Structure 1
């Protein structure tokens, strides 16, 4: 006995119709897919450029130095100059813990003191007064990445002062007629102090600021020279992020270090926030404008698709399909076009962003894969909304009228 012919399941038939609608090469569907692809490519391009610009702008602003300074509260209130007001290094334990928990945060404790400095190999050294900075030099250079150095012969830019070594500001080195690799004699201002201590100059720094007239020593070396062991004058801190993130970190540091005055360097903090805010507003505005134009194009295209398939819709209605079922079919078709257009547009936009950064700025793009679901979701939503606006045409189609032979 022959097996009865089984009718296809409603769900299977729905997806077969959906796949047929996507796979048949219709000019209107290709136009809709192209429009969504362009919108996704633009969104991917701008989002990747903004994310990378935000990262690179933060790195560039780091070159301007610390955006937060920790100073003794007495110094801030009474205007006392260091070294009269100092910080005990042991009180910075909460800062070390906070820095370990905050990626990208750098800090450099600094002890400032006025010392006498002269060229060590001179027959009769002519001492001059200069500001000496005792610091963790690797940490200070991470904060001031824009400083330029001229290392001594046999040294590299990665070598930092240690022991009886120092770095001289370019202006101070010029006044002393000292070159990298030479030596200077340092002595505290107290005339009753022991003989001057000789330090080898392993680097000449050019910062373009007051640091060009300073001499930089390891913290322990300056503390020993001036008799201030365990003391520092202030702490320079570089906190990554935008203005709101920096202000939150400042509030947390003020809570952790109640004995210190936590002061943001507002020129750097707010300049960085203003630039990033302007870039964000510009890119988001351009993206929104382009997506609105793409949405209008998709609405027009989906209207043409529905109108072109009036006879197909009439046949489905004549066979018992409801308006809601037909509307779901078109919405699924729009979602499919949006998903495919979003994926292809993301790849195209990422490629364009990488080429723009390489050709204009000579840097490589750090691809942000979190933009992929955002771009695909945005284009899918755009296609679904555009389709939803036109499926009302389905309700107006009458099978008897649409199928009548002209």
Structure 2
């Protein structure tokens, strides 16, 4: 009997029912697309933001601990003033090694009045499976632009010149520059937007050879995929309880990754580059917050539409409900009947909207972020349940108000 009542109720006012189902479907589709994009492209957006440059800087422990005394910098006795180049693959062997996009060691020197820096460009190093992996400055600083061509790691007589220095010295690709008493051909003009625009860039191996510092680097830039920092991320790990330290270490905060790099390279200290890390965190937080807000607004809009449709339906059916009350039906039975009707509308709208949301997520990913997005299918049952809950929540107030009416007064007014 209950099922027949529900079936007959659904057949009445099909236009109004279709409006409620469409509203729920639209809200669910928007929520599915926003949450799907948010969950699927978090790392991809992070990779795009990595073009801002390295978010972790590794320096020799002696340099990090150096203090200035009477205008002279003094480092602690026994601390190495360099990082061994052959130890750098350890960076990829930390717990969060798979989140390390790349790293780029450097060695700075001077040739007369010219600042010189040695870098990796497309350098092979042994990965976790002992197969070669490649990294270098172009990987870590993907926004760098070169007019001409990049260097090869094994070139011996070629260099890059920073854009500002090239303008000052009137150099172009193909020009010749004297460095350490040797002629070097300018392979390209580098535009980095940073200090490198004032430097001459050489392959790291050549810079080490010319400065007689084999296997030595004085800094390493690291680009890592990280989670935006919160108050917990900024806590000092030395003050944490064991449970807190484990949770902090198992979260890819820039601080926890830097801490693990420091543990892997005892002769060095890794620190976050705050300008980059905080800027990236703010962008990711704003994108996430905006998508969550859009999803929430879509579901609230669906609930308001269901409320409006249900209010109109209750006004139309109040005589029917009064007769049911007068013939002995309890408020609980009538409420369950109406709630089941609304829940079925929410179920249909949720299923239709969830499937449409998968396609909408792909469209948003391609149009806005230029990446392929596959919304997690586990979201579908969650959002279908949310659609049912939103529909029932939107119908509670109109149904409750109708059930509070005196059936005798309603029937007298209907005569």
Alignment TM-score, normalising by the size of structure 2: 0.71
Contact 1:69–1:265 under 8 Å retained in 2: yes
Residue 253 (str. 1) matches residue 261 (str. 2): yes
Instruction: Quickly say closer, same or farther: Cα 1:144–1:301, change in 2 above 3 A.
Output: same
> 1-side partners of 2:198 and 2:353: how far apart?
54
Residue 186 (str. 1) matches residue 179 (str. 2): yes
Q: Which residue of 2 aligns with 1:141?
A: 138
Instruction: Quickly say closer, same or farther: Cα 1:130–1:104, change in 2 above 3 A.
Output: closer
Displacement, 1:44? 3.8
Which residue, out of 337, 355, 363, partners 2:370?
A: 363
Q: Which residue of 2 aligns with 1:31?
A: 19
Structure with the greater alpha carbon radius of gyration: 1
Contact 2:33–2:375 under 8 Å retained in 1: no
Which residue, out of 280, 292, 295, partners 1:284?
A: 292
Residue 129 (str. 1) matches residue 114 (str. 2): yes
Q: Which residue of 2 aligns with 1:203?
A: 188
> 2-side partners of 1:329 and 1:104: how far apart?
56
Instruction: Quickly say closer, same or farther: Cα 1:326–1:279, change in 2 above 3 A.
Output: same
Instruction: Quickly say closer, same or farther: Cα 1:51–1:100, change in 2 above 3 A.
Output: closer
Contact 1:299–1:387 under 8 Å retained in 2: yes
Which 5+ residue runs of structure 1 have no aligned equivalent?
1-12, 117-127, 188-194
Which residue, out of 92, 96, 112, partners 2:92?
A: 96
Look up the SS of the partner of 1:102 in the other structure: helix
Instruction: Quickly say closer, same or farther: Cα 1:19–1:170, change in 2 above 3 A.
Output: farther
Look up the SS of the partner of 2:118 in the other structure: strand
Q: Which residue of 2 aligns with 1:4?
A: none
Instruction: Quickly say closer, same or farther: Cα 1:203–1:366, change in 2 above 3 A.
Output: farther
Which residue, out of 213, 216, 220, partners 1:235?
A: 220
CA deviation string 1:193-230 (max 9, x = no partner)? xx63x555443321122212323333323222222112
Task: Kindly tell me the number of residue pairs found equivalent between the two proteins.
Answer: 368
Contact 1:35–1:298 under 8 Å retained in 2: yes
Q: Which residue of 2 aligns with 1:214?
A: 199
Residue 86 (str. 1) matches residue 71 (str. 2): no
Which 5+ residue runs of structure 2 have no aligned equivalent?
68-72, 123-134, 230-252
Contact 2:191–2:197 under 8 Å retained in 1: yes
Displacement, 1:147? 0.7
Displacement, 1:48? 5.2
Q: Which residue of 1 aligns with 2:233?
A: none
Which residue, out of 329, 335, 341, partners 1:333?
A: 341
> 2-side partners of 1:182 and 1:375: how far apart?
63
> 2-side partners of 1:81 and 1:373: how far apart?
63
Displacement, 1:264? 0.9
Q: Which residue of 1 aligns with 2:51?
A: 63
Instruction: Quickly say closer, same or farther: Cα 1:130–1:395, change in 2 above 3 A.
Output: closer
Contact 1:111–1:134 under 8 Å retained in 2: yes
Contact 1:63–1:146 under 8 Å retained in 2: yes
Contact 1:164–1:200 under 8 Å retained in 2: no
Contact 1:71–1:260 under 8 Å retained in 2: yes
Look up the SS of the partner of 2:99 in the other structure: coil
> 2-side partners of 1:108 and 1:274: how far apart?
25
Residue 112 (str. 1) matches residue 111 (str. 2): no
